[in-house]
Structure 1
Amino acid sequence: MKVFMLALAMIIGLSANAQGRRGEQRERLSPEQRVELQLKKMTLDLDLNEKQQAEVKKLLTERSKKHEQAKAEIKEKKEEGTKPTADERFDMQSKKLDEEIAMQNEMKKILTPEQYEKFKEMKEERKEKITKRAEKFKNRERR
């Protein structure tokens, strides 16, 4: 009986500790720091030269600024308590896809064909990873 009570106390203590950590917010990186890390990762994975690094950094910086602006607009609307209409959601999605197409075209110009193929593969792997994480999160919520 003592062993059972001890085990129960340990389980409760560990689960409470784990839940406390999950709720903590970690400090976010600045947009410049995220761009720099993203560029370094791409340089390692795609073997970018100096010229390519400069062009990709410029592209990532522009994309990051647009993303931050869009995030601020969404946050502002959320604080006001207004939800986007179907047309506004359509426009946001359309704009996002247009920017993605533009990014893809620019990357195609900057990278060699081999690098571009590897870039596309990396992008697909990222999508799969995000999808798996989302499914895992949904499954966890159902429990």
Structure 2
Amino acid sequence: MKKLVLIAIALMTVQAFAQQKKGESNKERAQMMRNLSPEDAATMQTKRLTLHLDLNEKQQAEVKEILLANAEARKAKMEEIKAKKEKGELQKPTKEERIKMANARLDQQIAMKTKMKEILNDEQYDKWEKAQARMANRGNEKKKEHAKKRMHEKKTE
């Protein structure tokens, strides 16, 4: 009986450490991606899309140009937020500011979609749209999980 209890405890301990490692590696990977230069990020994304959509040389160059512009804009925004945070000027946006940011993000997505439609053929574009929908869905699921976790933490307090 003692042996069974010891084995059960050992298995639970190993499982807890294994789960902890997974979370750490995701954070490390996310940090690494944040530290990439816009050129490196655009190159990596272009290569992923080339593998996924079977892009030709001309398409690769055009897609990389678009992705580079997006990566540079994203990096500039991150630097701006980081600077405000260090100065202590970062505040929660007002309702109007959130609406303005959401509209800007949606305008950027529409522009990206239009550009991609011009570059890709119909089959590639359909495949790209499905991948974008999957990514958006995955993001929404993670937001829901995070909200549930926060609600559960509030209940236990």
> If the TM-score is normalised by the length of the shorter chain, which range does it land in?
0.7 to 0.9
Pairing partner for 1:70 from 63, 74, 77: 77
Higher mean displacement: 95-104 or 2-11: 2-11
Q: Give the secondary-structure state (helix, strand or coil) at the position aligned to 1:28.
A: helix
Q: Partner residue of 2:16?
A: 15
Pairing partner for 1:115 from 124, 133, 141: 124
1:52/1:111 contact within 8 Å kept: yes
List gaps (5 residues or longer) in structure 1: none
Partners in 2 of 1:127 and 1:44 — Cα distance? Answer: 20
Q: Give the secondary-structure state (helix, strand or coil) at the position aligned to 2:61.
A: helix
State the Cα RMSD in Å. 2.6
Higher mean displacement: 32-41 or 124-133: 124-133
Q: TM-score, normalised by structure 1?
A: 0.80
Q: Partner residue of 1:126?
A: 135
Partners in 1 of 2:7 and 2:124 — Cα distance? Answer: 57
1:113 maps to a residue whose letter is: D
List gaps (5 residues or longer) in structure 2: none
Count of residue correspondences: 143
Q: Partner residue of 2:63?
A: 56
Q: Partner residue of 1:96?
A: 105
Deviations 1:88-128 (A, max 9, x none): 21111111111111111111111112221111111112222
Deviations 1:29-68 (A, max 9, x none): 3133322221111112211111110000000000011111
Partners in 2 of 1:43 and 1:20 — Cα distance? Answer: 31
1:8 maps to a residue whose letter is: I
Higher mean displacement: 44-53 or 81-90: 81-90
Q: Larger RCO: Structure 1 or Structure 2 (Cα < 8 Å, ≥ 6 residues apart)?
A: 1
1:108/1:116 contact within 8 Å kept: yes
Q: Partner residue of 2:32?
A: 28
1:11 maps to a residue whose letter is: M
**Alpha-carbon offset, residue 14 of structure 1:** 4.5
1:107/1:116 contact within 8 Å kept: yes
Question: Once the two structures are aligned, what percentage of the paired residues are identical?
Answer: 34
2:122 maps to a residue whose letter is: P
Cα distance 1:132–1:7, how it changes in 2: closer, same or farther (>3 A)? same
Partners in 2 of 1:76 and 1:89 — Cα distance? Answer: 20
Q: Give the secondary-structure state (helix, strand or coil) at the position aligned to 1:48.
A: coil
Q: Partner residue of 1:41?
A: 48
